[in-house]
Amino acid sequence: MTFSAVDVITTKRDGGHLSDEAIDWVLAAYTRGDVADEQMASLAMAILLNGMEAQEISRWTQAMIDSGEVLALPDVGRPLVDKHSTGGVGDKITLPLAPLVAACGAAVPQLSGRGLGHTGGTLDKLESIPGWRASLNAEEIAAQLADVGVVICATTPTLAPADRKLYALRDVTGTVESIPLIASSIMSKKIAEGTGGLVLDVKVGSGAFMKSLDRSTELARTMVAIGGAHGLPTRALLTDMSVPLGRTVGNALEVAESVEVLRGGGPADVVELTVALAREMLALAGLDADPAAVLASGAAYEVWERMIAAQGGDPSAPLPVAAHVEPVVAERSGVLSTCDALAVGIAAWRLGAGRARKEDAVQAGAGVRLLVEVGEEVEAGQPLLELHTDTPAAVAGARAALSSGLVVSEEPAERPRLLIDALR
Ligand code: URA
């Protein structure tokens, strides 16, 4: 059946329900180029303003999956399980988590993206490792999963192409922040990837897509429901993103911190979240290993080395460092009461760690190293964090971003609770 793009748009504009056939048609026609960008942008805005019902979201997700191929992963003799984070500042958790879960006996097919805006992308972080290659074809993904048990690589071009086109359009038309569109975008890629179970880390707070607990909970519920409707067992943790995760924000800085965690050290919050997500993934995979013990044993670090080497990287090579490093100091004595995730994310991005447009390059060594945690006492003049960049002219912009994001006060303060809720 053929529809008119204008009828589909006006149906949603007027608060109506899109039929299965209309959804199938509009996404297929958009992928082919028969529905124009301006028409899809208008429909995306109508969806953002008027929402979609559960049935529409489920069908939209299926139509995005059907726009490409589903990755046929071979039976590797281990349960397949993956995780997805909705993105945050300093969120390097995939780096220690994926090898940890593989070391516990599961297989982890982690098809990932690059960062845009203030949240970093897993591929950008790993590309700071000399020689490491993000693009693998379907055969290479399958072979590495069978051999190492874990692969972190770029999504293949045939996976949900409708989403790739639509996400780029949403990015420049103010239509990213729609729960149905975010949920269907994420879930279509994960379902098409062929994982057997999925754990979502849905971030809450200033550095997250969704700033409020209500909106984050709705996003998590929507994604868990899509997983259920498509036969993909899905769980979600809601976790804090009002302060950055760990002590580093920026590509090579975050790789170095992840390696510390894999070697049994690293910041407590990164370890806590890595282990919490691993427990959920292992429960979905039906495995009863203890991820905290496996992390401490060094077994996850061995898997990391094999995973990096399998993609051409040298796990023992020195990581790139920025040409210029300078501190931001406390202006008064007291307690660090606020270290705002969004402010730190924007600072790192301005220093060169992130990109403004998807074709921009990122600086491997750029970013922010936090020297003090929320709740710690500081003296006037004490360095609170370091700014790392190859372009010193970027420092003023980073300092401006941080100006109201770092607060030293007289009152005692505590880091907000990291694990907020779980949907199982
Ligand atoms: N990440 C995605 O993959 N899609 C969205 O819409 C938002 C974040």
Q: Which residue has the tokens 């420049």?
A: 172
Determine the average pLDDT of the residues in 248-253: 98
Q: Which atom of ligand 1 is nearest to 189's Cα?
A: 3
Ligand 1 atom with minimal separation from the 182 CA: 6
Mean pLDDT of 339-343: 98
B/e letters for 283-292, b = 16+ CB within 10 Å, e = fewer, are bbbebebebb
- Ligand 1 centre and the CA of 196: distance in Å? 20
Tokens at 162, concatenated: 């409708």
Of the pLDDT bands very low, low, confident and very high (cuts 50, 70, 90), residue 353 is very high
Give the end of a domain, one of 310, 338, 361: 310
Residue 339 has pLDDT above 80, yes or no: yes
Residues 110 and 248 in one domain: yes
- Please check whether residue 56 lies inside any domain of the structure: no
User: Which residues touch 336 (CB under 8 Å, ≥6 apart)?
Assistant: 330, 372, 373, 374, 375, 376, 378, 384, 406, 407, 408, 413
Cα 113 to Cα 120: distance, rounded to the nearest angstrom = 9
Q: Determine the Cα–Cα distance for residues 68 and 66; give it in Å rounded to an integer.
A: 5
We report the CATH number of the domain holding residue 361 as 3.90.1170.30
Same domain assignment for residues 36 and 97: no
Residue 88 placed within a domain: yes
Of 285, 310, 335, the domain-final residue: 310
Determine which of 70-74, 81-85, 262-266, 318-322 has the lowest per-residue pLDDT on average.
70-74
Burial of 108 (0-12, 13-18, 19+ CB in 10 A): buried
Q: Which amino acid appears at position 30 of this protein?
A: Y
- Two tokens, residue 286: 């039906």
Q: Which residue has the CA at smallest separation from atom 8 of ligand 1?
A: 182
User: Looking up tokens 């984050």, which residue turns up?
Assistant: 216
CA-based max dimension of the chain: 70
Give me 227's structure tokens: 């997983």
Q: Are residues 102 and 30 in the same domain?
A: no
Residue 65 belongs to some domain of the structure: no
Candidate of 111, 123, 163, 191 to mutate for ligand 1, largest count of ligand atoms within 8 Å of Cβ: 163
Q: Are residues 263 and 170 in the same domain?
A: yes
For residue 77, being part of any structural domain is answered with no
pLDDT band (50, 70, 90) for residue 359: confident
Same domain, 183 and 328: no
- The answer on 150 and 105 residing in a single domain is yes
| CA-based nearest residue to 254, from 375, 361, 344 | 344
Query: 280 in a domain, yes or no?
Result: yes
Q: Best of 118, 165, 182, 193 to mutate for ligand 1, by most ligand atoms within 8 A of CB?
A: 182
- 């949920």: which residue's tokens? 183
* Atom number in ligand 1 closest to CA 176: 6
Q: Does 414 reside within a domain?
A: no
CA separation for the pair 37, 49 (Å, rounded) = 18
Q: Per-residue confidence at 150, pLDDT binned at 50, 70, 90? A: very high
Q: Is the pLDDT of residue 356 over 90?
A: no
Does residue 234 form part of some domain? yes
Distance of alpha carbon 369 from its chain centroid, rounded?
Answer: 20
Q: Is residue 422 domain-resident?
A: no
Q: What is the mean pLDDT of residues 95-108?
A: 98
Rounded Cα–Cα distance for residues 239 and 92 (Å): 14
Ligand 1 mutation target, pool 185, 222, 241, most atoms within 8 A of CB: 185
Q: Whose CA is nearest to atom 5 of ligand 1?
A: 182
Indicate if 146 and 288 belong to the same structural domain: yes
Same-domain pairing of 338 and 286: no
**Residue 1 pLDDT more than 80?**
no
Distance 311 CA to ligand 1 centre (A): 25
What's the CA-to-centroid distance between 209 and ligand 1, angstroms?
Answer: 9
Q: How far is the CA of 185 from the centre of ligand 1 (A)?
A: 5
The catalytic site residues sit at 84, 163, 170, 185, 189
Tell me the pairing of strands 234-240 and 198-204.
parallel
Closest Cα to atom 6 of ligand 1: 182
Which range of residues forms the domain containing residue 360? 324-409
Whether the CB-CB separation of 151 and 122 falls below 8 Å is answered with no
Same domain for 212 and 328, yes or no, is no
Which residues approach ligand 1 with their CB closer than 6 A? 167, 176, 181-182, 185-186
Atom of ligand 1 minimally distant from the CA of 181: 6
Taking CA atoms only, the protein residue closest to ligand 1 atom 1 is 186
Are 310 and 153 within 8 A, CB to CB? no
Is residue 20 located within the same domain as residue 91?
A: no
What's the number of domains the chain is made of?
3
Helix (H, G, I), strand (E, B) or coil at 273: helix
Task: Please tell me the chain's helix, strand, coil percentages from 3-state DSSP, rounded to the nearest 5.
Answer: 45, 15, 40
- CA gap 423, 315 in Å, rounded: 36
Q: Please tell me the distance from the alpha carbon of residue 348 to that of residue 406, in angstroms, as a whole number.
A: 14
Q: Model-level pTM?
A: 0.97
Q: Return the number of other C-beta atoms located less than 10 Å from residue 27's C-beta.
A: 27
Query: How far does the centroid of ligand 1 lie from the alpha carbon of residue 149, in Å?
Result: 26
Closest-lying ligand 1 atom to the alpha carbon of residue 113: 3
What mean pLDDT comes out for the span 178-203? 97
In single-letter form, the type of residue at position 351 comes to L
**Both tokens assigned to 320:** 């790139």
What does the alpha-carbon distance between residue 83 and residue 108 come to, in Å, rounded to a whole number? 8
Residue ending a domain, among 243, 275, 310, is: 310
